[in-house]
Amino acid sequence: MWATTVIVFREILEAALVISLVVAATQGIPRRGRFVLFGILAGVAGAGLIALLAEPITAIADGMGQEIFNATILLLAVLMLTWHLVWMRKHSLQLSNQIKGMSTQLMQGEKSILVISVVIGLAILREGAEIILLLHGVAAAGTDSAQQMLGGLIGMVVGIGVGFAIYFGLVRIPVRHFFKVTGALILLLTAGLAAQAAAFLSQADILPALGNSIWDTSSILSEHSLPGQIVHSLTGYVSQPSGIQLIFYLGTLLTVGSLVRLVNRRPVRLPLSSAAALVLTASAMLGLAPVSQLHADNKIYSPYVEQGEFELEQRGHVTNKRKQKHKLEIGYGITSRWYSGIYGEWEKNPGGKLEYEATSWENIFQLTEQGKYWWDVGLYLEYEHAKAPSAANKIETKLLLEHPGAKFTHTANIILEREVGRNASNDTEFAFYWRTKYRWKKTLEPAIELYSKFGELGNTGNFDSQKHLLGPVLAGSVQIGDKSKIKYEFGYLVGLSDAAADSTWKWLLEFEMYF
């Protein structure tokens, strides 16, 4: 019920703000009251029509299975809310500018006064349609309709009330703060709806449940109690979440949250980026470049994906110049072909502190069945989001090849990396990694690893300006219990070229567990 209240309240308030803006901006225009009223009525009528149409559509879709239908509606609602959250702030700014421009044009007689009705009508139509769809979503999540009506009504009354209050200057809440708070609420709500969708999909056996009850807090706060219900509908709280619900909840929170931040981020001030460009050009002219930008770290990937396997991994390296890099990754085999993970990256320069550098989204796609061809093939896709606004984001693709032989396993990674977005350079970096592993025993497999980071494609420079590393690595895995194991790698790489560090210690520790 409270979910409906929040949604209706916010949409109504948005419409109310548009109306107030129009009304305020068109003061002094004769007969404008009549046009405002006409706009409101037309908008409400239009939204009503959509509501009527929504019913038969719902009836048609009923044939497709309740769970799937509910999940579809919920996911649609998630998409709409995401869109709403991401564009709202920008949109409202543009809108108020447009409306101000409109009133000048009206005063000068350039536009028909009917524009007032159209703007208001469209605003109400849009918000109304959103309310209808979102309410279907909430209904799919299982609140009963009487409660929903009540919730919606409360939201509507409060929304209109606050709208009026703002217009008459009774409340001087800075509108931006207001939207920030309700925005945060809607974000939680969206995540909650996504988790609900996941629950339906796992019920229909389309998604795995990944553990039926990751934790149980029903003794502390049950969803059947009133406070539990309020918290549930506002934040998506579930006392016994399944694994997939948790993943959807956190995934949505993370994705939508960062999207909102990304889109609404203030542009970087020009001097900063031009200074950076200057430094780059200067160093290039002095022959200091190419500084190999390749971020690809010293890990060689296999092309395999294990469905239902959860991974937690810490890896890093430290060079003879005491430069450190650490990565912490958490990931999951979503299907038998697709692994997805998220990792954070930390760096430490000599004398400096360990600093957070970037967040990455990593995906591995297994393309061929194990052993079908001489090479097993996989594709690796990664998006890296740099923390510093002056640093560019990156997309990394790798072709993963592995030959699992009886005595030796050979693995090759062919890597292309490109910067994207702001401050991105236009080069594609190229690298090639190789590992040959001797299969002595499961707990201990000695290997040789080669890392060749050639630098910019088409401008790779000479051997010494590229980074080439080679060295021995020990790897293995230890079983703990039935369904989990620990994997390790430990190695020492020697720099073959001038640009590479003379020596690098690398390590990897991974915990794998099947749910």
Residue 459 within binding range of other proteins, rule CB under 8 A: no
Q: Measured from the CB atom, is 194 or 415 closer to other proteins? A: 415
Q: Measured from the CB atom, is 297 or 309 closer to other proteins? A: 309
Q: How far is the CB of 296 from other proteins (least distance, A)?
A: 15
Contacting other proteins (CB under 8 A), which of 154, 209, 414, 494? 414
Contacts for 281 with CB less than 8 Å, ≥ 6 apart: none
Report cis status (omega within 30 of 0) of the bond before 389. Answer: no
Q: Which stretch binds other proteins (CB under 8 A): 186-194, 231-239, 276-284, 437-445?
A: 437-445
Residue 259 within binding range of other proteins, rule CB under 8 A: no
Q: How far is the CB of 317 from other proteins (least distance, A)?
A: 27
How many residues contact other proteins, by CB under 8 A? 34
**Phi, psi dihedral angles at 292 (to 5 degrees):** -65, 120
Residue 370 within binding range of other proteins, rule CB under 8 A: yes
Q: Measured from the CB atom, is 126 or 487 closer to other proteins? A: 487
Contacting other proteins (CB under 8 A), which of 479, 480, 498, 502? 479
Q: How far is the CB of 482 from other proteins (least distance, A)?
A: 5
**Footprint on residues 327-346 left by other proteins (CB under 8 A):** 333, 336
Q: What does the block give as tokens for 394?
A: 């990156």
**DSSP line for 438-482:** E-SBTTBEEEEEEEEEEEETT----GGGSEEEEEEEEEEEEEETT
Calpha distance 394→427 (Å, rounded): 11
Burial of 359 (C-beta count, 10 Å sphere; 0-12/13-18/19+)? middle
Residue 480 within binding range of other proteins, rule CB under 8 A: no
Using the 8-state DSSP alphabet, how is residue 289 labeled? P
Burial of 266 (C-beta count, 10 Å sphere; 0-12/13-18/19+)? exposed
Q: Which stretch binds other proteins (CB under 8 A): 191-199, 387-395, 403-411, 464-472?
A: 403-411
Residue 203 within binding range of other proteins, rule CB under 8 A: no
| Helix orientation angle between 114-140 and 32-61, rounded to the nearest 10 degrees | 30
| Number of Cβ within a 10 Å radius of residue 242 | 22
CA distance readout (Å), 406 to 263, 435, 439, 444, 477 = 51, 15, 8, 15, 17
Calpha distance 223→230 (Å, rounded): 8
Q: Measured from the CB atom, is 167 or 432 closer to other proteins? A: 432
Contact in structure between 431 and 398 (CB atoms under 8 Å)? no
Report cis status (omega within 30 of 0) of the bond before 404. Answer: no
Q: How far is the CB of 218 from other proteins (least distance, A)?
A: 26
Residue 222 within binding range of other proteins, rule CB under 8 A: no
Q: Name residue, tokens 């149409």.
A: 53
Contacting other proteins (CB under 8 A), which of 240, 255, 264, 307? 307
Which of 261, 262, 264, 236 lies closest to 250 in space, CA to CA? Answer: 236
Residue 121 within binding range of other proteins, rule CB under 8 A: no
Q: How far is the CB of 371 from other proteins (least distance, A)?
A: 3
Q: How far is the CB of 117 from other proteins (least distance, A)?
A: 54
Residue 211 within binding range of other proteins, rule CB under 8 A: no
Contacting other proteins (CB under 8 A), which of 297, 309, 311, 510? 309
| Number of Cβ within a 10 Å radius of residue 248 | 27
Q: How far is the CB of 290 from other proteins (least distance, A)?
A: 17
Calpha distance 398→379 (Å, rounded): 6
Contacting other proteins (CB under 8 A), which of 161, 183, 257, 308? 308
Q: Which stretch binds other proteins (CB under 8 A): 3-11, 47-55, 94-102, 400-408?
A: 400-408
Contacting other proteins (CB under 8 A), which of 405, 421, 438, 459? 405
Residue 374 within binding range of other proteins, rule CB under 8 A: yes
| Number of Cβ within a 10 Å radius of residue 303 | 23
What's the farthest any 2 CA atoms get from each other in the chain? 91
Calpha distance 395→389 (Å, rounded): 16
**Phi, psi dihedral angles at 220 (to 5 degrees):** -90, -50
Q: How far is the CB of 439 from other proteins (least distance, A)?
A: 7
Q: Which stretch binds other proteins (CB under 8 A): 19-27, 55-63, 151-159, 371-379?
A: 371-379
Q: Measured from the CB atom, is 164 or 511 closer to other proteins? A: 511
Q: Measured from the CB atom, is 167 or 515 closer to other proteins? A: 515
**Footprint on residues 122-181 left by other proteins (CB under 8 A):** none
**Footprint on residues 287-306 left by other proteins (CB under 8 A):** 304, 306
**Footprint on residues 31-60 left by other proteins (CB under 8 A):** none
Q: Name residue, tokens 């409306």.
A: 99
Reduced to 3 states (helix: H, G, I; strand: E, B; else coil), residue 59 is helix
Task: List residues binding other proteins (CB under 8 A).
Answer: 208, 304, 306-309, 333, 336, 369-375, 377, 397, 399, 404-406, 409, 414, 416, 428, 430, 439, 441-442, 457, 479, 482-483, 514
